[in-house]
Structure 1
Amino acid sequence: MSTPQTPRQRSAQASLGQVVLGFELIVVGLAALTIFGLGALPPVVALGGGAAVCLLMLATIGLMMKYKWAFILGWAVQAIIVLSGFAVTMLFLIGAVFAGIWTFAMTTGAKLDSQKKEN
């Protein structure tokens, strides 16, 4: 008979990061469609690049609970989204807003995790 496993402690930082990336995933999908619709990039680049970034974000969401290096991947995703402003200028603003939300989530999550560890 197997012994029941205790539930794994969830990291607040990972949970907050997953929420941010989840919402951002929707925006990135819509941004790819916008880039395609405006003809700012060739269709293969606009839609293929958007799909690749969405897949990267989904992978990051899945990896954040297990691996610390996935947080670095999350920062890389933020940089990619800010850089997408070279295709459509408004994406600089959207990328900066999400990078700010990501920064807040990472710092707040780290504080909550350290407080939980102390108690």
Structure 2
Amino acid sequence: MTDAPRGRRPRSVRESLASIVLGFETIIVFLAALLLFGLGSLPAWLALGGGALLCLVMVATIGLLRYNWSYAIGWLVQAVIVLTGFVNPAMFIVGALFTAMWAYCMVTGSRLDNNKENS
């Protein structure tokens, strides 16, 4: 006898928005790591290894967004990306833009989720 297929777990608006921001940010961080490697701003192992590690952390965080504590990791990722501006000043702008998007998604997503629960 076969069991009935399980449906997908419903995702909150905040979780969906956070995964979108982190997904696009992963692409940008990958390209920024290649840029830092190409410019010689950092040793190759640090530019590529650090970029790969940050990308892995972001992808893992996307998978963990069902837990409330994972949003703190998202905020930590935003801070690390802003701090990469000390290596390449353009990353201050990139980090600020993604941090602003992250903050907006956290506030708006939480508000929409609360409105959905209350109605």
Q: TM-score, normalised by structure 2?
A: 0.94
> Residues of 2 paired with 1:5 and 1:57: CA distance?
27
1:74 lines up with 2:74 in the alignment: yes
Instruction: Count residues in correspondence.
Output: 118
Could you say which residue in structure 2 is the equivalent of 1:12? 13
> Residues of 1 paired with 2:94 and 2:118: CA distance?
36
1:88 lines up with 2:88 in the alignment: yes
> Residues of 1 paired with 2:5 and 2:40: CA distance?
55
- What aligned pairs does 1:24-35 form with structure 2 within 5 A after superposition? 24-35=25-36
Q: Report how far residue 9 of structure 1 moved.
A: 2.6
The structure-2 alpha-carbon separation of the partners of 1:40 and 1:5, relative to structure 1 and needing over 3 Å to count, comes to: same
RMSD: 1.3
> Residues of 1 paired with 2:15 and 2:73: CA distance?
12
Unaligned runs of 5+ residues in structure 2 are: none
> Residues of 1 paired with 2:48 and 2:101: CA distance?
25
**Deviation per residue, 1:53-92 (Å, 9 max, x gap):** 000000000000x211000000000001000111101000
Runs of 4 or more off by more than 6 Å in structure 1?
none
Identity, % of aligned positions:
52
Unaligned runs of 5+ residues in structure 1 are: none
The structure-2 alpha-carbon separation of the partners of 1:109 and 1:42, relative to structure 1 and needing over 3 Å to count, comes to: same
**Deviation per residue, 1:28-77 (Å, 9 max, x gap):** 0000000101111100000000000000000000000x211000000000
